Amino acid sequence: MNTPAPGQAIGDLETPVLLLNLDCFESNVRQMAAYCRDHGKEWRPHSKAHKCPAIAHFELANGACGITCAKLSEAEWMVAHGVSSILLANQIVSPVKFAALARLQHRAEVIAAVDNIAVVEPMAAAAAAAGIRIPVVVEIDIGMKRVGVEPGPPVLVLAKAISDQPRLVFKGLMGYEGHVLKCWPHSAKQKACYQALDILVESRNLLAANGIQVEIVSAGGTGSYELSALHPGVTELQAGGGVFMDAMYRRTCHVEALTPALTVLTTVTSRTANHVVVDAGFKTLSSGHQPPEVLGRSDLRLRGLSAEHGTFDIVEGRAGPALGERIELLVGYSDSTTFLHNYFVAIRKGHVEKIWDISARGLLR
C-alpha cells in the first residue's frame, strides 16, 4: 500500500492514518515556550509523547532549552540525532546503563535522575571509567507516591553523597506533581499543585542551608503547567504532551489554552441502521486514559474499540455517516497512541506537508 507523500491531498490518504495539524501544533509549541519564558521558566519538553527527533528539533528551535526523555535508549537516539541537552526523567540501576550514560556525556549533556543512594557509587565508577563527569538531579516524591526520595533529611543525605563524588555533578532537584492533574475546581488544583511544588522549594532551601547549591528545580506536566509556571521556586517545566493537546488534557485536566492538533483519520467500513464501524481500533489509538472524540459531527457516540474496529452508535433520530465516509477522531491520549504508528502525517491547508518518522518507538530500555 502506498505511504503518504508530501503534496498529497488529505482526501486521498488511505486510512487509518495519524494526522498532525501543523498550524495547531506549531502554535502550541510557540505558546508553551512563550508561557514558560514569560514566567521566568525554562522549557524542557518531554519527548515520550512524540518519540520523534524532528519534533524535538522544532521545539528546540522555538524556545526549548533541551528535552526530557523517559528512557536511556530514547536519550541515545536523540543524541544520535543532534540533541545536545537531555534530562533523563527515569531511574537507571544497571552497570550496562551506567556505562552507556557515561559514554553519552562525550556527545551531549544527559542529566540523570537519582532517588537512591545505592546507585551513586556505581554511577560515579562508570563516569570515572569513561573519563567524564555525569550531571545528576535528585528526584523527590512530592506527593505522587511513585518514585522519588522522601522529602527532608533523605534529600540532604543523597545530595551530599552525589556532591562528594568528583565524577558526579549535582545539578538540582526534580519532582512530578502528577497526582494533581485531575483536581478540580481550579482553586483546589492550584492549592494541591503549590503544596507539591513547595516540597521542592523546601528541599532546595535545606540544601542551600547546608552549602549545596541547586541550579535546577524541574517539574510540571502538561496537565498542570499553567499553574506550575507561576510557582516562584521552579526553574524549568517538562510539559510536553501539550504540543498535541489531546482530549485527556482538555477534558480531564482542564487545559483550555492549547489547540487540538493530533487526530486519526478513519473510514466507515461497515454500518447498520443503528451503528457504524470504522477501520481504527485499539491497535491504532487508545481509549484507556480518555476515549477518542469524533470531530465535526454530533451524531456518533463511541461504543468501544476492538483490535481493528471502532464501533460508534448513531444518535437516535440522526442519519449517521454513509459507508465509505471519512471520520476524524481527536486522539484521547497522545502518549498511548503515537507509539502505535510509524510516522506523523503532518498536514497544512488540506495537504500533506511533511512525514515525520516516530523513529524512537520501541526504545523502552
| CATH of the domain spanning 22-243 | 3.20.20.10
Q: What is the pLDDT along the chain (365 residues), one digit of tens a residue?
A: 678 999 999 999 999 999 999 999 999 999 999 999 999 999 999 999 999 999 999 999 999 999 999 999 999 999 999 999 999 999 999 999 999 999 999 999 999 999 999 999 999 999 999 999 999 999 999 999 999 999 999 999 999 999 999 999 999 999 999 999 999 999 999 999 999 999 999 999 999 999 999 999 999 899 999 999 999 999 999 999 999 999 999 999 999 999 999 999 999 999 999 999 999 999 999 888 899 999 999 999 999 999 999 999 999 999 999 999 999 999 999 999 999 999 999 999 999 999 999 999 999 99
Closest CA to 194 of 233, 138, 241: 233
- Beta pairing partners, 259: none
Residue written as cell 519564558? 37
Angle made by CA atoms 148, 182, 155, in degrees to the nearest 5: 15
Q: Which helix (H) or strand (E) holds 268?
A: strand 262-271
Is the sign of the CA dihedral 227, 233, 239, 242 positive or negative? positive
Give the model's pLDDT for residue 3.
85
CB 225 within 8 A of CB 38: no
Task: Give the pLDDT score at 1.
Answer: 63
CATH 3.20.20.70 fits 10-18+258-357, yes or no: no
The three-class DSSP label of residue 209 is: helix
Q: What per-residue confidence (pLDDT) applies to 221?
A: 93
Contact 139, 175 (CB under 8 A): yes
pLDDT, residue 362, reads 95
Furthest-apart CA atoms within the chain: distance in Å: 73
Q: Say if CB 17 and CB 40 are below 8 A apart.
A: no
Angstrom distance (rounded) from CA 184 to CA 181? 9
Is the pTM for the entire model greater than 0.85?
yes
Would you call 156 exposed, middle or buried from its count of C-beta atoms within 10 A (0-12, 13-18, 19+)?
middle
Task: Locate the domains of the chain by residue range.
Answer: 10-18+258-357, 22-243
The cell numbers describing 13, all together, are 490518504
